Amino acid sequence: MELKKSITPKKNLSISNKFSMSYGKSEKLAGIAFVLPIAVLLIIFMFYPMIQAFIISFQDFNLISQKKTFIGFDNYINLFKDKEFIASLKHSFYFAMVVVPVQGIISLGLALLLQKKSRINSFFRTIYFIPVVISTAVAATVFELIYSKDFGLLNAILEALHLPTVNFLSNPDTAMNGVIILGIWKAAGFFMIIFLAGLNNIPADLYEAAHVDGAGKIRQFFSITLPLLKRTIAFVAIITTIDAIKLSALVYVLTGGGPSGSTETTVVYIFRTAFEQMSMGYASAAAFILFAIVLIISLIQMKLFKSDVEY
């Protein structure tokens, strides 16, 4: 309802006043009317909750007892002493530290493999992209069965190839690796497409010149492709890191955070604290720590990757 109200005045304004008003004035009013719905939504559902979250993070606020008391930095101090929270940060970081380089190299490799424009290559691009379209819950459910110890597809294949079988999800030491493989399976095709776009942006005559100068393929890769791909690499690294640290639904459906908490990521921890224990203040403080971490990491990465190569 609220939204409808905000559209109607704009229509009237621009129709009824189109002659009586100067071009500039009607343009101003039209501009305001056009951005109004988005501005209102942005304030209500982004900025207001953000401020609320900040306030709540300094409160002892339990949704069941309905009690709200200001407790200063207690939530933050307690969080840093909370073993479960620290462990959840470690799990998220472990996931990120493996996924960012491994997935980055795989998707860049796939992009290089399919770089040339041809029918066959675009067919394979589509195939590699299909896991991206599979929804998170479906992928996690199916992989849970594939990973299953006795009847899962993975162990059947490993056994037939005389490789040692794995028991990913029931062993706390390896469960995260099961999550990592699923994560990469699902996302590599997405970043392949981004790398392909970056590769297409590199002028072909650079390679021709290098070829004339006698530089081999490997030399060309390290002295042309990689440096000119720096911006794309930075983009992929930042996005993958942020996504990895915010890992949630995938792991929640696949393992529920188990076994014995070994795959509980920070967002799963926040979710549990807020909606199972109903500790809204404590969960908000944890969310803010996560936000600060994400912000700092992306700032550092932006600095590190700041490209001095222009093309």
Partner 1 sequence: MKALTQLARYTLMIFVALIALIPILWMVFGSFRSHQEIFEYATSLNIHLIIPVEWTLQNYVDVIMDERNPIFQFIGNTLFIAVTVTVLVLFFNSMAAFAFAKLNFPFKNVLFICLMSAMIIPGEVTLVPNYLLMNDLGWVDDYKALIFPSLVNVFGIFLLRQFFEEIPKDMMEAARIDGASWFRIYWSIVLPLAVPALITLGIITFLANWDSYFWPLIVLNDDSKQMIQVALANFSSLAGTEWAKILAANTISTLPILIGFLFVQKYYIQGISTSGMK
Range 42-101, binding partner 1 (CB under 8 A): 42, 44-50, 52-53, 56
Residue closer to partner 1, measured from CB, 23 or 80: 23
| Residue 247: Cβ-neighbour burial (10 angstroms; 0-12, 13-18, 19+) | buried
**Considering CB under 8 A, how many residues would be counted as binding partner 1?**
101
Residue closer to partner 1, measured from CB, 23 or 173: 23
Taking CB under 8 A as the criterion, which residues in 237-276 touch partner 1?
Answer: 242, 246, 248-249, 252-253, 267, 270-271, 274-275
For residues 264 and 87, is the Cβ–Cβ distance under 8 A?
A: yes
105: contact with partner 1 by CB under 8 A = no
DSSP code per residue over 26-63: HHHHHHHHHHHHHHHHHIIIIIHHHHHHHHHTTEEEET
9: contact with partner 1 by CB under 8 A = no
Specify the stretch interacting with partner 1 by CB under 8 A; choose among 7-15, 76-84, 172-180, 301-309. 7-15
Cis upstream peptide for 259 (omega within 30°):
yes
Please give the backbone phi and psi of residue 80, each rounded to the nearest 5 degrees, phi first. Answer: -70, -15
For residues 242 and 301, is the Cβ–Cβ distance under 8 A?
A: no
For residues 28 and 252, is the Cβ–Cβ distance under 8 A?
A: no
Distance separating alpha carbons of residues 283 and 123, to the nearest angstrom: 45
Which spans in 114-255 are helix H? 119-133, 136-146, 153-160, 175-200, 204-212, 217-220, 226-228, 230-245, 249-254
What is the closest distance, in whole angstroms, from the C-beta atom of residue 164 to partner 1 in the complex?
15
302: contact with partner 1 by CB under 8 A = no
Sole binder of partner 1 in the list 9, 41, 223, 304 (CB under 8 A): 41
Instruction: State which H helix or E strand residue 109 sits in.
Output: helix 83-113
Residue closer to partner 1, measured from CB, 152 or 261: 152
298: contact with partner 1 by CB under 8 A = yes
Residue closer to partner 1, measured from CB, 146 or 169: 146
21: contact with partner 1 by CB under 8 A = no
Taking CB under 8 A as the criterion, which residues in 140-199 touch partner 1?
Answer: 140-146, 150-153, 156-157, 159-161, 185, 189-190, 193-198
Q: What is the bridge-based pairing of β-strands 59-62 and 67-70?
A: antiparallel
What is the closest distance, in whole angstroms, from the C-beta atom of residue 81 to partner 1 in the complex?
21
Sole binder of partner 1 in the list 92, 103, 232, 240 (CB under 8 A): 232
Sole binder of partner 1 in the list 66, 72, 130, 212 (CB under 8 A): 130
Sequence letter at residue 92: S
